[in-house]
Structure 1
Amino acid sequence: MTVLHEFGFPPGTASTEMITGGGKIIRMGFEPMRLELFTSIPGLEFGGCYDRRDLVKIGRMLVPFISLEDLKINKLASGRPKDLQDLEELP
């Protein structure tokens, strides 16, 4: 919850219930610096995604990102036109 508050959620507006359970998307910030937190994603399970995550060094921190292959699986499974377009543009 501390991270959500540091990102701009006023105290008392973010709760554990807000980020638990499947099928939720929490959007913070504005393009091009928007952050989206997904509580579940189509086509994938968290444990496997976590095991296959890519760690990218940003400054002095290692930041976990979904692997490219898992991202492709998710884009295909979601089936949304924007995700299918994104899929065509991924390496």
Structure 2
Amino acid sequence: MKTTPTPSDPSWFERPSNIRKMIIALVIICTGLALADLFYTNPHPHFPIETSFAFQAWFGFVSFVVIVFLGRLLRVFVSRPEDYYESQEADHDSDR
């Protein structure tokens, strides 16, 4: 007989033991892919730096970090106060 999980039960992805297993699996996979670069040579690199060890891995990581910091910088220009829409509604209601 199946029991239905109660809403207070954490899902498989929320259990700390499973989170640790996922992180370990991710590290193993990433390490394995970086080590696979030892056995692969790019036959047509466009730039000499592309032949360096694990170029795709570190280039992707650096690109991700740059995008995150650019997003934080963009937030300074496009963010609005928390009550931005509420203050506009209050001004609009007072005009009536």
Calculate the TM-score normalised by the size of structure 1: 0.18
Calculate the TM-score normalised by the size of structure 2: 0.17
Higher relative contact order (CA 8 A, sep 6+): 1
Which of the pair is proportionally richer in strand? 1
